[in-house]
Amino acid sequence: MLSRVFSGSTYGIDAYAVTVETHIEDVVPGFVVVGLPDNAVKESRERVTAAIKNSGFPFPIKRIIVNLAPADIRKEGSAFDLPLAIGILSAITEIRNDHLSSYLMIGELALDGSLRPVHGVLPITLEAKKSGFSAVIVPTENAREAAMVKGIDVFPCSTLSECVDFLNGEHPHLPAYLVDIDAVFSEGVKNYPLDFSDVKGQESVKRALEVAAAGSHNIIMIGPPGSGKTMMAKRLPTILPPMTFDEALETTKIHSIAGTMPEGAALISVRPFRSPHHSISDAALVGGGIGMARPGEISLAHNGVLFLDELPEFARNVLEVLRQPLEDGRVTIARSKMTIEYPANFMLVAAMNPCPCGNYGNPHQQCTCTPIQIQRYMAKISGPLLDRIDIHVETPQVKYQELSSSRQGERSEVIRDRVVRAREIQLQRFKDSKGLYSNADMQSKDIRRYCHIDEASQELMKMAITRLGLSARAYDRILKVGRTIADLAGSEEIRPEHVSEAIQYRSLDRQMWMT
């Protein structure tokens, strides 16, 4: 007796179809799963056996061999429970359906036969559509996420019995799950609980964050405790351009695979904000782990913001692994038997104190740190990493007059409108350049093409490079930030005032680190 059903598994942020072949023969009873299954798949034998029996179906006391093809790729997770059970029931003719090849099915089985949700439903459904399947069968809790894929029917089931009845045509009223994709996408686009109008004072820092958002530049804020660094960083996503549907799909795929989807959410339509603790390991930050490598915090922040508070408190090796993803917008995790690539195109926002006690440069509090302590504290951040951060801004202590003022600052919506207009200028500028979407994406050849400056601006640049001792990378980044400032001003040319402001965002680090 032989049956064949189809399932799917993830590899990186994509998925591939898995053929579940079940062979049953009248020899010594046993249940074997082959095809490089991990422990979770091997344990599914016990779950499937109990689920079939507790659902009222006969379980064959024979030798059962299940092959998961392709057999040279490791399979992991509990999503194969449902296709394993359906394959066995089909082999013993409990399921009378000649069109099983039209369905791709996934789901974890409880011992009583109920279906539990699994990870990676969105990429698996996308692969099902790409591979020509007409429908997917998923646990009821995963139906909304699967329905984000247009052009394929989604049938939700809550129990194994319900799935068998549906396949046998005894549950004709089980409808394909339908959802208004546009409504789901738009419901969270502007649903931000935070707003920049809550921030008192700090106009120069808010300006720097606006420039960073307009060009997708990385930024670091340096200031004493309580100056509002974290408060402003949390509000940065509120002024970023709304996500496109393609960005939302790609971001949701990452979170679906990682199992970090918010409860009840079908699509992540708000830009992610990730803020890992400084005790995080390098593997947790960039991705990895035992078995199949999982996306790390930098991939979970894809198309959004990665906020590193108290930057010098992070381990040196953890910070250094950020250098390559900041340049390439992706991270490659190599193992002896596999290489997985995850996208990691995020805005890095960092915050730190100017010294261990936090009061260096504060006119109202005396700093208790020695010059050597300050130097060691600053030395925790390497020069190459700092060079990859386009904007450095000082965050001073907020004055009492600003804190007690009843005047509200600009709302995030107003700032976001300016940012969106600047991004539209960049999209138009880069429409013929593959891989360029914002000024921060420009490489050296693109800077030479799009960032022309006049003689007055050249003199400013010469003075800055000579006096501040900036690197060649810093020179390029000043030009990129100047291009963004010009875009915000609606200027086709980069003027001296734009270059001057961009230089200001690079001068702070030299003053602090040379102390």
Q: Where are the domains of the chain?
A: 2-179
Confidence (pLDDT) at 507: 66
Q: What is the torsional sign of CA 358, 283, 212, 440?
A: positive
pLDDT at residue 514 greater than cutoff 70: no
User: Which residue in this structure is represented by tokens 């915000």?
Assistant: 488
Work out the number of other CB atoms within 10 angstroms of the CB of residue 183.
8
pLDDT higher than 70, residue 174: no
State phi, psi for 292 to the nearest 5 degrees.
-70, 125
Mean pLDDT value across residues 24-40 = 89
SS3 477: helix
What is the biggest distance separating any 2 CA atoms in the chain, rounded to whole angstroms? 89
- Copy the structure tokens of residue 42: 């091997």
pLDDT of residue 187: 67
Residue 97, helix vs strand vs coil: coil
Question: Which residues is 23 bridged to in the sheet?
Answer: 2, 65
CATH annotation of 2-179: 3.30.230.10
Q: Is a pLDDT exceeding 50 seen at residue 515?
A: no
Q: What percent of the chain has pLDDT over 70?
A: 95
Q: Please say if the pLDDT value at position 121 is more than 70.
A: yes
511 pLDDT tier (thresholds 50, 70, 90)? very low
Residue 232's pLDDT is 94
| Tens of pLDDT, residues 326-342 | 988 889 887 767 788 89
- Which of the pair, 39 or 480, is modelled with greater confidence? 480
Q: Which amino acid is at 66?
A: V
Say yes or no to pLDDT of 263 above 60. Answer: yes
The pLDDT of residue 190 is 57
Measure the CA dihedral 506/510/513/515, to 10°. Answer: -140
User: What is the rounded distance in angstroms from the CA atom of residue 335 to the CA atom of residue 190?
Assistant: 40
3-state secondary structure of 157: strand
The C-alpha atoms of residue 154 and residue 346 are separated, in whole angstroms, by: 32
Enter the pTM of the model. Answer: 0.89
Residues 164 and 115: their CA atoms lie apart, in Å, by 12
Beta bridge partners of 32: 65
* Residue 189 pLDDT: 54
For 252-261, how does the pLDDT look when each residue is reduced to its tens digit (9 = 90+)?
999 999 988 8
Helix residue ranges, H only, 78-170: 81-91, 121-130, 143-146, 160-167
Closest CA relative to residue 494, chosen from 465, 458, 466:
458
Per-residue b/e over 378-410, b at no fewer than 16 CB within 10 Å? beebeeebbbbbbbbbbbbbbeeeeeeeeeebb
Query: DSSP code of 114?
Result: B
Selected residue with higher pLDDT from 53 and 290: 53
Give the whole-angstrom CA distance, residue 207 versus residue 1: 70
Alpha-carbon gap, residue 439 to 426, rounded angstroms: 7
Q: What is the mean pLDDT of the chain?
A: 88
pLDDT for the residue 433: 84
Per-residue pLDDT, 120: 93
Q: Which residue has the higher pLDDT, 405 or 283?
A: 283
Higher pLDDT, 189 or 21: 21
What's the CA gap between 301 and 306, in Å, rounded?
A: 6
270 against 334, higher pLDDT: 270
Query: What b/e sequence results for 337-358 when a residue is b if at least 16 CB atoms lie within 10 Å of its CB, and e otherwise?
Result: eeebbbbbbbbbbbbbbbbbbb
Residue 510: what pLDDT? 45
Residue 273: strand pairing partners:
305
Give residue 207's pLDDT band: very low, low, confident or very high (50, 70, 90): very high
pLDDT computed for residue 227 by the predictor: 86
